[in-house]
Amino acid sequence: MDKERSRLERMFLRLEERFPRFAMVLYVLRQPWAMLIRIPLGILLVIGGLLAFLPILGIWMLPLGLLLLAIDLPFLQRPMSATLLRGERQWKLWRRSRRDKRGREAPPPT
């Protein structure tokens, strides 16, 4: 399980790099003493994600809650790290396809 744990840690580090505004919050929530905050917050986010049909609450809460719970629950570490990795790949492919479309649609210079 150390392999999945270290992969999840690397994913969190990438998230901190990508979203510097939330880097300190992610860093604090990953600390061992923050388990008393992390588990209830993760449960509340999962419940909020399941109630996505209500205003303010949304489906974005579900993966965030599962990600927080994966820090403490080893059986969630492998699926969450795989999901993050797959999502990151899909995001890169989507951005690359948008960039390529924009490049092709530009009119030739006259």
Whether 64 maps to a domain, the answer reads yes
Tokens found for residue 29 = 């929530």
Cβ 83 vs Cβ 99: under 8 Å: no
Nearest to 67 by CA among 88, 46, 47, 87: 46
Whether 110 maps to a domain, the answer reads no
Distance CA 63, CA 15 (A): 14
Q: Which domain holds residue 77?
A: 2-105
The tens digit of pLDDT for each residue in 3-37 reads 888 888 888 898 889 888 988 998 999 999 999 99
Whether 83 maps to a domain, the answer reads yes
The domain total for the chain is 1
Q: What predicted TM-score, i.e. pTM, was given to this entire model?
A: 0.77
Torsion over CA: 100, 103, 106, 110 (sign)? negative
Average pLDDT, the chain: 87
Distance CA 83, CA 30 (A): 19
